[in-house]
Amino acid sequence: MNTAKQIALELGVREQQVQQTIRLLDEGSTIPFIARYRKEATGELDEIVIRDISHRVDYLRHLDERREQIRQLIAEQDKLDDRTAQALDSAVALQELEDIYRPFRPKRRTRASIAKDKGLEPLADALAAQNAEDPTSLASEFLSEDVSTTEEALQGAQDILAERYADDPGIRDKVRRFFRRRSRIVCEAAGDDDSGDFAMYFGYAEAVSSIPPHRILAINRGERREVLKVRLELDAEPLLLELERDIVKSSRSPAVTCIKAALADGFQRLISPSVQRELRNELTVKAEEHGIRMFGRNLHSLLMQPPVRGRTIIGIDPAYRTGCKVVAVNAYGDLLEYTTIYPHEPKRQWRESMDTLSRWVKNYAAELVVIGNGTASRETEQLVAELIQTKNPALQYVVTNEAGASVYSASDTARAEFPELDVAMRGAVSIARRVQDPLAELVKIDPKSIGVGLYQHDVDQKALSRTLGEVVESCVNYVGVDVNSASNALLQYVAGLSPAVAKHITAHRQSIGAFHERRQLSQVKGLGPKKFEQCAGFLRIADGQDPLDNTAVHPESYPVARGILESIGHSPDDLRSSSTLELVREKLKALSAPELAKTLQAGEPTVRDILANLAQPGRDPRDELPPPMFRADVLTIDDLEIGMTLKGTVQNVVDFGAFVDIGVKKAGLVHISQLSSSFVKQPLDVVQPGDIVEVQVISIEAKQERIGLTMVIQR
């Protein structure tokens, strides 16, 4: 099999692009490195396509390994004929290979194997030939001590044929496709309780061909909890008639009755249960893949939220009885002070708590309060809103998703950062910092705990971890990392760096001091030439000896970058000053990338990227996005009215819509039908977590704390 050619056809790219990508991957290059610094080799394939190629290469290589395993297993049985070998060679999916191997797979003792042991396989062959002989007369020739009647002989022969039909790859494929098109998934209550999360699925049925992924995952969960009984339902008569037309050679043959009986038995007893299991698994795999993709896209949006720079922040992890944990962190995330206040039940120290916060605001010139959205969040919002109204009118606050803060608090990373703090106080630091720099803080937390998925505990955890790891890696390398301030948790996601090498970088930094040049990274233990090649372009040195070290220009391209600057009468040092940088930018705009590429003997894509990076040294692409929405007052669900128009922040996006925080206790739901006046196939095509959107209230269920919203605003 020509792997590169097949992948190229699947992805709609050139075979040479795939070949070069596979070569680079096999040489140990990372996907972020290939996407950014090997554009000439890949024909400028983006990171998404390169990841698709990587995944398909892994699958097809595994397919080839399994193909050879099966070939060997069949050959060991001395049953590998030309037809089977050709079928193995042409198979393009694991399911096809397993269907081919099925007749040769060692089986436990079955009705068919018992019949074969009694010597009835020749009778089955004679019936399958569908000649003019009477089946009863044929069967009489096979009577023995083990087979006492012709009826027993015919039944044994039919058992052999039933298993033969059940193992036939063509028949199984036809049954599988028929089930996909025509079957329904049916749910019933497993007990007498008609309440709870799964009540909507009692007596529920939906076509397999159209059931959405999130419903499959919900049904599976109900089945695992033994709340639901689930089955596939199919009118099999048209399928059996179609199979009979394929198998019956002559309707006049006396053996036809036996053939049809064997086929019906094979379908009901062997094929249908097996194919139903396969199809349920297939539906689950597709639903899990969809759920994982949704989680990945949500996580990407969350990690790419713009940082809130240059502000001293007060972070609050709310609670009732144990008190609200409060921290102050400076603009760099350094902890300034921490304490616990008790504004809520049972102590109700409202005035004392407000005085403490007001004093901190004054002492540290704090401009923003960040409140976690967990227990007592609403009451803590009211405390801060009153603080703003009565004491600190210039102050603002924001409520942030605290999911994962407790996971971070108990981690080795948190213990190493704040050994003197208790677990809850570390959570308050995490809450404050995740607004200052969401990416730098959230990478310290297992992505599965960040709280932007749907049914994340119901999907393949290995596949989920791999996808989310890829998302984090993509975000970290897209933004770039300051090597002199980044944590181990952040550094380990840089292309080419492992957790061990990340620790060596921070240890080197602590023992020798800040890095002044990228090339100093080669002195770090475990960071050899290949790792340096992979990571160097993604690591920044803000105030180093060479201004190019604060750009995404790779060190291998420094001669080209300097040549470009020389062509306009400048040097890298002119990138340091805002006044000279503006002049450099104006001159760079007039340059032609194709002409420069020829003059400097460099690739045109590389030259284009260098021109963009020279114009914006130290650029953080997240700064171009709108900042979070800050508040100064608090709303309750009782303040809402139908038709009210508000601004809110998208918290999470799921298959059926988006949850939007509008400043009340519970996020409101914008159903997929209310996201746009046009048809929306996928909510993520319209909104992303973190987006600031305008919504209108269309329903309020105060008792259930449910709010319906629309983005199709009626003026």
Burial of 157 (0-12, 13-18, 19+ CB in 10 A): buried
Percent of the chain whose predicted confidence (pLDDT) is above 90: 82
Burial of 506 (0-12, 13-18, 19+ CB in 10 A): middle
Instruction: Look up the CATH number of domain 477-624.
Output: 1.10.150.310
Segment 576-594 shows an average pLDDT of: 93
Topology of domain 313-475 in CATH is Nucleotidyltransferase; domain 5 (3.30.420)
Residue type, position 539, single letter: L
* Tokens 């050959």, residue located: 75
State the pairing for strand pair 313-317/324-329: antiparallel
Asked if the model's pLDDT at residue 417 lies above 70, the reply is yes
Asked if the model's pLDDT at residue 634 lies above 80, the reply is no
pLDDT of residue 150: 96
Q: What is the pTM of this model?
A: 0.86
pLDDT of residue 632: 82
The helix/strand/coil state of 710 is: strand
Q: Where are the domains of the chain?
A: 3-104, 111-183+234-295, 313-475, 477-624, 637-710
Instruction: Look up the CATH number of domain 111-183+234-295.
Output: 1.10.3500.10
Same fold, 3-104 and 477-624: no
Residue 562 CB coordination number (10 Å)? 17
CA atoms within 13 A on the CB side of 266: 29
Burial of 228 (0-12, 13-18, 19+ CB in 10 A): buried
pLDDT of residue 11: 96
Dihedral, 264, 266, 271, 273 alpha carbons, nearest 10: 80
Provide the mean pLDDT of the chain: 93
- Which residues are within 8 A (CB) of 463 and not within 5 positions of it... i.e. 6 or more apart? 288, 289, 292
Q: What distance in Å separates the CA atoms of residue 467 and residue 283, rounded to the nearest whole number? A: 19
Going along 190-312, which residue ranges are E strands? 204-207, 228-233
- pLDDT digit string, tens, across residues 464-506: 889 999 999 999 999 999 999 999 999 999 999 999 999 999 9
Q: What distance in Å separates the CA atoms of residue 57 and residue 645, rounded to the nearest whole number? A: 50
Residue type, position 427, single letter: G
- CATH superfamily, domain 637-710, is Nucleic acid-binding proteins (2.40.50.140)
- pLDDT digit string, tens, across residues 215-254: 999 999 999 999 999 999 999 999 999 999 999 988 889 9
Segment 572-578 shows an average pLDDT of: 93
State the pairing for strand pair 368-372/313-317: parallel
Q: Which CATH number fits domain 3-104: 1.10.10.650, 3.40.640.10, 2.60.34.10, 1.10.30.50?
A: 1.10.10.650
- pLDDT digit string, tens, across residues 427-456: 999 999 999 999 999 999 888 888 776 667
Instruction: Give 626's pLDDT tier (boundaries 50, 70, 90).
Output: confident
